[in-house]
Amino acid sequence: MNAVNSGDISWMLTSSALVLIMTPGLALFYGGMAGRKNTVNTVMSSAFIMGLASILWVLFGFSLSFSGGAGGIIGDFSWFGMNFTEDSAAAAYAPTTVCFAVFQMMFAIITPALITGALIGRMRFSALFVFIALWSVLVYYPLAHMVWGGGYLMELGAIDFAGGTVVHISSGVSALMAAIWLGARKKTEKEAARPHNMPLVFLGAALLWFGWFGFNAGSAGAANTLAVHAFMTTNTACAAAMLSWMLIEKLRTGKTTLAGVSTGIVVGLVAITPGAGFVPIWASLVIGAFVSPICYFFITVVKPKFGYDDSLDAFGCHGIGGVWGAIATGIFAVKGFNPDPSADVVQWNGLFFGQSELFVRQLIAIGITLVISLVGTGIALGVTQLVLRKIRVTPEEEALGLDISEHGEPAYPAFDGVDSVNAGFAFTGTEEVYSEKASHAVKTKSAELPG
């Protein structure tokens, strides 16, 4: 076995931990944005994936994504159970194959978790569990292989530094399709489902910002100047998008909001992901500044026009932000940021610099990602529905809230004032109705409160 660079190992393991913390950050971001009665379910929808995706990755996910190949679409089972040594794997990935597998595992965890933001308040937890497992096999592993594992899109010359197509377009488009498949929440539920904890939302966004440095800079694969470059472009795009979103809100409503700041942070990070190590630092400012008006338009104009119930705008932020990022990479990418010229995957400069080859390939990659995401999501949902029969909660369970109906566990079991409850009961809304966790029996407030 060849000697390894301890500095690279240290950086990649640190980056892996940073990416892992993004999933709890996403859980808090989504949880604060959800209505109070769906908080636990929303957090759980990200939390369980940390376990499920990890086991699937070790068993066959890494092998299907990064071993062998079947027509440039997906790998094989030659590394089933990660049953290989570094020598037998021929150190296929830097700094070691196992270290690379650890880092990539964190991507396999957070990507399906992004989908759950579109499904708040209406999908059975058991159905979500089955769907996420199937989706990982049908959508994520093939795309990871095609883009990063030596598959068709890599051979084509399309580039994706840290997951614009593999992570964000795939999850955003899949989220939209799943939301349409499930159908919209009842009108009264949609109107009542306002963000209930904005400090929690910002904490989640801040953890995403923090973890994204591992997400992007770690994708350099080593502690080198490329990692430093990706770190700076990541922060620059994020800051520009946040300020851009604030400006839009000020011009449109006269006020800036913490929800807007948090959303701007996320879309800026999404947009720079595919080009973080490929575009000049000044270009990252442009990419971040433009993603906010693009996503804002889809969230405030396109979504109401077509009426799809993307609960927390997973498609509007990740799908659309990822598409813009992939296009912008084809516009602004430049060869030569990688300190190892033999490892530089940028074969052509971007459209801004007078070459169109890369731009065209980026558009092809986006199109292929859309097709795989739509087809794979449709199959995953269809199989889930065939196996479990019912994948959506009943209207009564939806009105009660999935915290109680699916988990028997309210997020806020005791409050003084308007949200005050007795032990063992949870307030479910403005109708002043309480539900006993064990039996879901409905009791009036007057029967439960003293006096």
pLDDT tens readout for residues 12-54: 999 999 999 999 999 999 999 999 999 999 999 999 999 999 9
- Which pLDDT band holds residue 418 (cuts at 50, 70, 90)? very low
Average pLDDT over residues 139-156: 95
The helix (H) or strand (E) run that includes residue 324 is helix 320-332
Query: 107-126: string of b/e by CB count within 10 Å (b at 16+)?
Result: bbbbbbbbbbbbbbbbbbee
Asked whether the CA dihedral 133, 135, 139, 140 is positive or negative, the reply is negative
Task: Give the model's pLDDT for residue 2.
Answer: 56
> Above 50 in pLDDT, residue 295?
yes
In the chain, CATH 1.10.3430.10 covers: 6-388
64 near 77, Cβ under 8 Å?
yes
pLDDT tens readout for residues 174-195: 999 999 999 999 876 666 668 8
- Which pLDDT band holds residue 442 (cuts at 50, 70, 90)? very low
Task: Give the model's pLDDT for residue 187.
Answer: 76
Residue 11, classified by CB atoms within 10 Å of its CB into exposed (0-12), middle (13-18) or buried (19+), is: buried
pLDDT tens readout for residues 369-385: 999 999 999 999 999 99
Looking at the structure, give the CATH architecture of the domain made up of residues 6-388: Orthogonal Bundle (1.10)
Percent of the chain with pLDDT over 90: 82
Q: Which ranges constitute the DSSP H helices of 57-169?
A: 62-66, 97-115, 125-135, 141-148, 152-156
Sequence-distant (6+) residues with CB within 8 A of 235 are: 213
Query: What phi and psi values does residue 20 have, to the nearest 5 degrees?
Result: -60, -40
Task: Give the model's pLDDT for residue 191.
Answer: 64
